[in-house]
A and B are shown apart, each in its own frame.
Chain A
C-alpha cells in the first residue's frame, strides 16, 4: 500500500540521496591544503575563503602532462575557477612542467618565483608560453609574507650556497591557516635546511618532505625544529629515484611522525584544526 506519506518520504529521501550522496568533494569552500597526486613531482593546492593558491604544477614529460591531465581536472572538480597565486619553488620539470598546461585552462592571477631563476633556461621557456603571457610575475629577491583569503604565506629566500643546483635555491613556503602551519621546502637539501633553521622557523604540524623524501633532505635537525605530526611524500609510484628514501623513512619513524604518500594514498586533503591538520578524506 502506498499512501501519501510514504510517497512524500520516498521523494524526500530520493532527493536527499541525489543531493548529499553525490560524490563528496572535500571542503571546496573552506580552508584546505591538498597534496595532489601527480606522480613524481609536486603540486600543492591551498584553498581559503574561495581563493586558490597552487604551489608547483606537477611534472610534464613529452608523453604525459600532469598539469593538464591531473591538476586541471582536480581544480575543476573542486570548483577552482582561477588560481590567485601560483608559487614556483624552482624551475625543475617535476615542479614547473605542468604550469603551461594549467594556465591554458585556468586563469592565473599572479606567479611568484625567486629572482635567481629569472634567466633560468627552463623558466625562460615556460614563461614565454602563450598561455602565460600577461600573467604578472613577482620575482622575489628576499623573503616576504602574503595573506590570501585566510591563509598567511611566508616565503623564505635562502642565500645561494655557491652551488649551481636549482634545488639549493628552492623557495620555502610556510602556510598558516587559522593557526595551523605547514612547511613546504621544495627540493631543498639538508644544507639549505640548516640555513632555514637559522632563520628561526616556528613548529608546523605538517611537513612536505623536501625533495620528495630523498635521503639528502629532511634532516633530523629540521624535524626537531618543525616537530611535525604528519609528513607528506609527494612521489610517483615505483619512481626511478627510490623516493622516499629508506633513510628518511627511518628518521620519521624514530621521531614518531606519521607518513602519508601521494603514490599510495592518492591526493591528500587536510583541513586546519586548531593548530593541527585533519585529514579530510
Chain B
C-alpha cells in the first residue's frame, strides 16, 4: 500500500465505523436499493456491494432493509390512454388541495383505480369521503404529473353527491385549514395572495404566478411548498407551549403527536410534511426523555417509517428535496451545545454556512426538476428563513388568540404578521430582480448525484454532530 494514502485509509475507516454505529441509516440505504431492484432491472443491487464490504457486521440490518424495500416497492401505474365514461362511487384518497378556484384531489374507484379530479371550491371535501359521481376518465395532461400516483384524470360532468363522510380526523383537518384561511381573509380582506396561508398550511391557491417565478429565481420555493419547514417551526412552537404544563413527558409527547398529526393533515399531508412531523416528534421525544438524538438516525427512521407506510413517495421529488435539505443540516450543522458556546460573530458565520450548505445540497435536485439553479438562493434564504419562521409563529399565534378573542387575534395579525409577510415578499421580489439571480441548467443524469452524495459524506466530520 502506498504510503501517502495511508492517512486517507485511516480516515475512511473512522468514517466507516461512524456509519456502522448507525444501523438505521444502513437499513434506509438498503431499503432504497431494494425499492429500486425491480424498476432498475436488478442494477440497484450494485449499491449493496459497498454495503457488503464496508458493513459486514450489520448484514442482518441491511438485509432486512433490502428485503423490505423489494417487497414494498410500488408497482408502476398503468396510465389511462383512452377516454371512457365513468359513473359510480369514488373515495377521496388524498387531502384535497385548494387550487385557483377548485379543490384538487386524488380519488379511488371501488376497483382501486386512482384518478385526479377537481371539485368545486365551495364544496367541503375531506379525505375518506365517498361520493357518487358521473364523469369521464381521461389521460393525465402530458408532463404535468411526472410522479403522479393517479392513473388519469376524472372530469366530472354531472352532479356530485356525498354518500358517506370519511373519518372525523380528516374532516377536522379540513375545518382546521378552513378556519385559518377564513381568519386570514377576515383579518386582511385586501390580501389576495394569502401568503400566511401558504406558509402555514400550504394553501398556495392565492399566490400569483409571477410570485412563484420570483420564488424559483431566488431559490425559496421551499417556503411555500415542499420542505415541511413550517411543520418543524410549528412543532417547536407547540413544544414551547406544552413544556410548562405539569404533566408527564409521555402525555406531552402524546398531545404533541395528536396536534402534529392534525396539523400535517390540515397542511395537505404531503410527504415532506409528514416526514417533518415524524422527525419533529422523534427530536422532541428524545429531548423530553433526555436522550441524545442523532440527526442521521432520526432522519433515517422518519424517512423509513414514511416510506413503509407510503412506498410510492419514493418517486416524490418534494420528499427527496426535503431529505437532501435535512440531511445536509444533520451532517454539517454543529450541535445546539456547540452553537451555544459560540460568540455572536461565530454564530453569524455559522448561519451563513448553514444557508450555503442547504442551498448547495438541494441545488442539484432543484436544477434537475426546474431546469434552473438560483445563484443568490443562499443569501436570500439567510434573510427569508428566519422571517418565515417568525411569520409562521406569529400567524399561528394570532389565529389561536382569535379563537378566544377574535378582534385581538386580527389585531395581532395585522400589527405583527402582516409587516413580516410584506417584508418576505419584498425581499423575494427584490432578490429576483438581480440579473444573475438564477441560471438555467440543462437536463442531466441523476447518476451525478452518486459522486455528489459520496463526496458530501467524506466531508462530514462526525465528531461535530450530535444534534
Chain A residues in contact with chain B, CB under 8 A? 1-5, 7-16, 18-20, 22-31, 49-50, 77, 79, 81-82, 150, 178-179, 274, 278, 280
Contacts and interface: CB of A to CB of B under 8 A. Distances in A.
B4 A2 contact: yes
B210 interface: yes
Residue among A15, A24, A79, A274 facing the most chain B CB atoms (10 A cut-off)? A15
B446 to A, nearest CB: 9
Contact of A24 (B8, B442, B455): B442
Interface of B: 4-5, 7-8, 11-12, 15, 142-144, 209-210, 213, 216, 363-364, 367-368, 370-373, 433, 435, 439-444, 448-452, 454-460
Residue among B7, B143, B433, B435 facing the most chain A CB atoms (10 A cut-off)? B143
Q: Binding site of B, secondary structure by majority: helix, strand, loop or mixed?
A: helix
Contacts of A7: 8, 455, 458
10 contacts: A4-B15, A11-B458, A12-B455, A15-B448, A15-B449, A19-B441, A22-B442, A30-B216, A30-B370, A280-B440
B448 A18 contact: yes
A2 B452 CA distance: 18
Contacts of B371: 25, 27-30, 79
Given A1-B4, A8-B455, A14-B451, A28 B440 contact: yes
A3 B443 CA distance: 32
Contacts of A31: 213
Nearest to A278: B435
Contacts of A24: 439-442
Nearest to B368: A19
A77 B443 CA distance: 9
B143 A19 contact: no
A75 B145 CA distance: 20
B113 to A, nearest CB: 25
A82 B144 CA distance: 12
A19 B452 contact: yes
Contacts of A18: 444, 448, 451
B452 A15 contact: yes
Contacts of B455: 7-15
Nearest to B11: A4
Contacts of A49: 209
A136 B371 CA distance: 31
Given A25-B442, A81-B142, A178-B209, A8 B372 contact: no
A210 B41 CA distance: 55
A82 B142 contact: yes
Nearest to B442: A25
Contacts of A13: 455
Contact of B5 (A2, A8, A178, A280): A2
B18 to A, nearest CB: 12
B452 A12 contact: yes
Contacts of A2: 4-5, 8
Given A1-B7, A11-B451, A50 B440 contact: no
A4 to B, nearest CB: 4
B143 A81 contact: yes
A27 B372 contact: yes
Given A12-B459, A28-B443, 8 more contacts: A4-B15, A12-B455, A14-B455, A15-B451, A19-B448, A22-B444, A24-B441, A30-B372
B321 to A, nearest CB: 15
Contacts of A82: 142-143
